[in-house]
Structure 1
Amino acid sequence: MTTTTSDLAELQARVEHLERIRFARSAPTAATDDDDDSPDRVVVTVDDSMRRARAAVERAGLYSARWRWVPAPYYTWTLPERARELGASSTLQLCKSLLLDNKKCRVSQADNAYDPTYPKFVLVVIQYGATLDVKKLTATIRARRPVPTRYDVGRFDFRIASAEDNDRVTGYAHNSVTPFGLVTHGTVPVVLAQAIAELPQRFFWMGGGHVHLKLGVSVTDFQRALQPIVADISQERVGDTSVADMMEG
């Protein structure tokens, strides 16, 4: 039996359709068919970054993992509204991953692949309702070295990485970054805020590899899979939380 080009195209279309259903299974607001006319419709196009994130989670055997698509207006909502959409009992369970660039790092990322004590880039996971304390982060990274060989504080200057570096180092676009499936896995230390590790729910949500895909996982599974540095690196956000602030990560 001869397989034609049209047969292969039809098979590919079926595979892509099944893949879209797989990713959207837990999210009725995510459109997987062209006839969905919902005003909050999210058109699902499964790409390599989403596949990479999911494959990393599955390889790690994270049985607590939950994937959920969120509707188009999600990033215009308040934190309580987002928590309700995800079924979270507290806004403190809503977290983001931020790539930080040490502007004072004097070695290349390749040279520093196995030295988390003086990284060029660090991925921090903090709550949306908190702010990053860069001084505490710097102290945490410096403390990874014994005192006699510890680098001076002047050799650290952590800033939010540029969009170009973020895409290149993580392999994920803005608002879709997840610590799972980083394209530079093993060369970027992951730092988990202590406030997340101490959540009474022992479960939190973060980006899932797509701007409208969220990944929920237990604290225990996260720590087992990624062996992150757990440290006090955040402070509770004081005052009003604007939409702009909440769109990071």
Structure 2
Amino acid sequence: IRSGTARHWKNGNVHKKRQPRQTTESTEENERCRSVAGGEDEIGAEWKRHWQSWRGFKPESSNVYRIVEAEVAVSHLPPSQARAIVQPEAAGVSSIVQGLSELELESDTEARLSSILRSNGVKEFNFKRVPSDYYDWPLEARRDALAAPSVHHLCKSIVLVNTQAQSNVADCSDPNNSKYYVVVVQYSARFNAESVKNFLYSLNDGKIAKKKFNLRLAPEETSVKLTGYEHNAVTCIGMKTDIPVILDEAITKLNPDFFWLGGGDVDLKLGIRTSDFINSVKPFIVRCSGS
């Protein structure tokens, strides 16, 4: 970022002129040195716009401003020495550029899931980012962060595997007798795998022996492979695999008719009306938890 533009960020430097460098090295070398600090004026303006979009932006504490300060401070040095001083600050900005790209990538998750929900006729839903240490908090603090009516409105999606499935059951092609299921249950409730086992036995009219149903938590790598979402980010919307979903009956009785679950990123949560979730995902509704 050339100081000609960036100096406007600090009062008192607007009218200062850069002193000519005392060097015998070529003009081409000087220009290369300037490029370490950022490039053309329009790039400086673009960086200013990016940085000012961040909450609590303070030019005097930013890496960008430090580059400008460094460039002014070394303007009298030969380019080779000036570069050695300015380059570490420029490297810091490179990491910021990468961070911005990651944020843009994360926002793609929200856009993709929003598109899926709208295409399924869901109009009322909400995404909310939470701090990185969210899962270290007690349920009451998580409730407050999401402005949820109660801790019972906080839910999770877990991937289960039928470890005793028949040898010909290896995927999710038959929702009545699938190798894997996703269960949505409240954080405040105790999941009861035996209830799911009994439900699946009845769903198949008793034609499959009850001992062929044994639901256990799937390994994390299996969950990631099937859903496309990492631990604490799993959601039933937009999964890689069309896994049958089981919704705990207790969630359908929540008042108000709205609950929170994972949103595809660890720090992204999705709030949705229970009725809209049921119409969109079409889960089995099973009483599979206790307090």
Work out whether the TM-score is over 0.5.
Answer: yes
Distance in 2 between residues matched to 1:46 and 1:235, nearest whole Å: 38
Which one has the largest radius of gyration? Answer: 2
2: CA distance between counterparts of 1:89 and 1:49? 26
Q: Would you say 1:210 and 2:271 are equivalent positions?
A: no
1:165 maps to: 222
The Cα of 1:52 is off from its aligned counterpart by 4.0
Q: Which deviates more from structure 2 when the two are superposed, residues 160-169 or residues 202-211?
A: 160-169
Tell me if structure 1 keeps the 8 A contact 2:110–2:127.
no
**Separation of aligned partners in 2, 1:143 and 1:219:** 25
Displacement of 1:145 after TM fit? 1.5
Find out whether 1:143 has 2:202 as its counterpart.
yes
Task: Give me the whole-angstrom Cα distance separating, in 1, the residues matched to 2:169 and 2:115.
Answer: 28
- Give, as a single letter, the amino acid of the residue that structure 2 aligns with 1:98: I
Give matches, 1:87-166, under 5 Å. Answer: 87-105=147-165, 106-110=167-171, 112-113=172-173, 115-147=174-206, 149=207, 151-166=208-223
Equivalent residue letter for 2:234: V
Structure with larger RCO (C-alpha < 8 A, sep 6+): 1
Q: Distance in 1 between matches of 2:195 and 2:255?
A: 23
RMSD: 2.6
More helix by share: 2
Report whether the alignment pairs 1:76 with 2:133. no
CA distance in 1 between counterparts of 2:164 and 2:129 reads: 38
- Structure 2: stretches of 5+ with no match in the other structure: 1-42, 57-61, 63-99
Q: Are 1:103 and 1:157, in contact at CA under 8 Å, matched by a contact in 2?
A: yes
Q: After TM superposition, which residue ranges in structure 1, 4 or more long, deviate above 3 angstroms?
A: 47-52
SS state at 1:195 partner: helix
* Partner SS, residue 209 of structure 1: coil
Residues of 1 paired with 2:159 and 2:104: CA distance? 25
Give the partner amino acid of 1:158: L
What's the offset of the Cα at 1:45? 4.8
What is the rounded CA distance, in whole Å, between the counterparts of 2:241 and 2:170 in structure 1?
10
Assess if the C-alpha contact under 8 Å between 1:92 and 1:127 holds in 2: yes
Aligned-partner Cα distance in 2 for 1:45–1:75: 23
Normalization by structure 1: what TM-score? 0.72
Alignment size in residue pairs: 197
Partner residue, 2:233: 176
Q: Percent identity?
A: 32
Q: Whole-Å Cα distance in 2 between the matches of residues 203 and 107 of structure 1?
A: 38
